[in-house]
């Protein structure tokens, strides 16, 4: 049996890499175990960009964590020299009563966050690439923008290694179990022991956390890159914001400015409603009907965006029934196991602060951060149906201006 550690971290994607950094920064002897290589594209921590925002439509309870995450973005950039966040500004667009708009306004108001409400005419004037219907509005947040997932994972791994963490890649975990006053973890290569275990399994949560009592659903999602019709200059960050756009039927899309040069275009995707899958059976081929559905939807709100399709990539959402996170001590193993999972497609922006929380929980058993919303023992609604691809757009309501 290999030497014992203070903490073993299972999964070194977004959350696990951050946990390894924060734990090792506090002097813990850390072993990190990852099924794939460093900064891989087989899970949910890839794709070049993720939206970050503080006027959080999902729930105002997330806002304090976001404020801390923004501080940690800056610390991570200073410590590693990597680009982590680009705060280009962002708009939450849709009918005034839509969850995207009304929820964002609720968080902005409750936490006194700087923001502006724009009517359709002002949206078009300020952001000419966007073509809302006359009855759509937007909440504009100057501090919204994007984070770089690959850079963030690489930065946390860099710091963890510098701080003495022992990181093992291409070493899948087979099982774990309580052992004496801690845990024992079996991999394809060895068996390890530690006083504490932190599990950040991503889409593998249904396999590694069968006793957690949370019915996870893993969904296949697709990200698309298009070359705009007139080129990328109007879609540069100084001209074109990040956005989440909800139509009258409740279908949400999100997208980004062109940040990777004229040849890589601009990225867009549907938000949620992907096909149910597993990490082993996910279809990583993006099909022509999916590309057409994305282009058709975007042509109604950003007509110049779907000029030429460039590429697409798949990732996975690991959903809880209420789409809130699971971030807590394991209720069946509260003395030795901490879990972070079920981030439901909106978790990556929280990566640095989740790492901080996981270090708190593993080393002290508690955290000062507000995480009550993420208790796995909370009442959960029934699983929502999620069988189809999000290809059906809302019926047209007249020509866009």
Q: Is 188 annotated as a binding residue?
A: no
Q: Is 297 annotated as a binding residue?
A: no
Pair 79, 126: CB distance under 8 Å: no
Which pairs count as long-range contacts for 130-135, CB under 8 Å and 24+ apart, including other chains? 130/91, 130/93, 130/240, 130/243, 130/301, 130/302, 131/300, 131/301, 131/302, 131/303, 131/400, 131/401, 132/93, 132/301, 132/400, 133/397, 133/398, 133/400, 134/401, 135/95
Residue range 181-194, pLDDT digits in tens: 999 999 989 999 99
Query: Structure pTM?
Result: 0.93
Q: Is 29 annotated as a binding residue?
A: yes
Q: Is 26 annotated as a binding residue?
A: yes
Q: What sign does the CA torsion over 332, 351, 207, 375 have? A: positive
> What SS3 state is found at 8?
strand
**Beta carbons within 8 Å of 350's beta carbon, 6+ residues apart:** 62, 65, 66, 69, 325, 343
Q: Is 14 annotated as a binding residue?
A: yes
Q: What is the pLDDT of residue 357?
A: 98
Q: Is 22 annotated as a binding residue?
A: yes
Q: What is the pLDDT of residue 274?
A: 87
What is the percentage of the chain residues whose pLDDT exceeds 90? 90
Q: What is the pLDDT of residue 263?
A: 83
Q: Is 27 annotated as a binding residue?
A: yes
Q: Which pLDDT band, with edges at 50, 70 and 90, does 233 fall under?
A: very high
Q: Is 9 annotated as a binding residue?
A: yes
Q: Is 267 annotated as a binding residue?
A: no
Residue 104 half-sphere exposure toward CB, CA atoms < 13 A: 29
Q: What is the pLDDT of residue 3?
A: 67
Q: Is 6 annotated as a binding residue?
A: yes
Using only C-alpha atoms, the chain has a radius of gyration, in whole angstroms, of 21
Q: Indicate if the pLDDT at residue 389 is higher than 70.
A: no
Report CA 31 to chain centroid distance, whole Å. Answer: 24
Q: Give the Cα separation of 293 and 375 in Å (integer).
A: 37
Q: Which pLDDT band, with edges at 50, 70 and 90, does 394 fall under?
A: very low
Q: Is 34 annotated as a binding residue?
A: yes
Q: Give the Cα separation of 116 and 243 in Å (integer).
A: 14
Q: Is 86 annotated as a binding residue?
A: no
Number of other CB atoms surrounding residue 2 within 10 Å: 13
Q: What is the mean pLDDT of residues 196-224?
A: 95
């Amino acid at each position: 049996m290999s030497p014992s550690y203070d903490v073993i971290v299972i999964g070194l994607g977004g959350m696990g890499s951050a946990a390894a950094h924060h734990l090792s920064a506090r002097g813990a002897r850390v072993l990190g175990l990852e099924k794939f290589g460093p900064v891989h594209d087989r899970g949910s921590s890839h794709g070049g960009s993720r939206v970050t925002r503080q006027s959080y439509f999902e729930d105002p309870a997330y806002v304090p964590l976001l404020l801390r995450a923004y501080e940690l973005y800056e610390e991570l950039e200073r410590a590693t020299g990597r680009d982590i966040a680009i705060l280009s500004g962002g708009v939450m667009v849709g009918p005034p009563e839509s969850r995207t708009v009304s929820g964002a306004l609720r968080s902005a108001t409750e936490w006194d966050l700087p923001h502006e409400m724009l009517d359709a005419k002002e949206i078009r004037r300020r952001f000419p690439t966007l073509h809302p219907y006359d009855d759509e509005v937007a909440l504009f947040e100057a501090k919204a923008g994007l984070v770089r997932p690959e850079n963030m994972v690489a930065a946390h791994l860099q710091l963890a290694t510098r701080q003495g963490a022992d990181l093992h890649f291409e070493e899948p975990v087979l099982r774990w179990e309580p052992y004496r006053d801690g845990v024992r973890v079996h991999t394809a290569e060895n068996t390890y022991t530690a006083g504490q275990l932190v599990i950040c399994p991503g889409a593998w949560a249904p396999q590694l956390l069968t006793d957690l009592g949370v019915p996870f659903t893993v969904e296949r999602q697709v990200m698309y890159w298009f070359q705009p019709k007139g080129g990328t200059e109007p879609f540069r960050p100084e001209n074109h914001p990040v956005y989440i756009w909800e139509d009258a039927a409740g279908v949400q899309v999100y997208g980004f400015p062109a940040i990777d040069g004229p040849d890589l275009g601009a990225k867009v995707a549907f938000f949620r409603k992907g096909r149910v899958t597993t990490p082993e059976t996910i279809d990583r081929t993006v099909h022509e009907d999916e590309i057409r559905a994305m282009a058709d939807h975007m042509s109604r709100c950003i007509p110049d965006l779907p000029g030429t399709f460039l590429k697409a990539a798949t990732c996975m959402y690991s959903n809880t029934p209420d789409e809130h996170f699971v971030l807590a001590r394991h209720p069946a193993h509260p003395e030795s196991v901490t879990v972070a999972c079920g981030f439901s497609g909106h978790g990556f922006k929280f990566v640095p602060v989740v790492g901080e929380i996981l270090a708190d929980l593993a080393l002290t058993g508690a955290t000062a951060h507000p995480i009550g919303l993420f208790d796995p023992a909370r009442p959960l609604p029934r699983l929502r149906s999620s069988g189809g691809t999000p290809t059906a757009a809302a019926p047209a309501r007249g020509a866009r201006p």
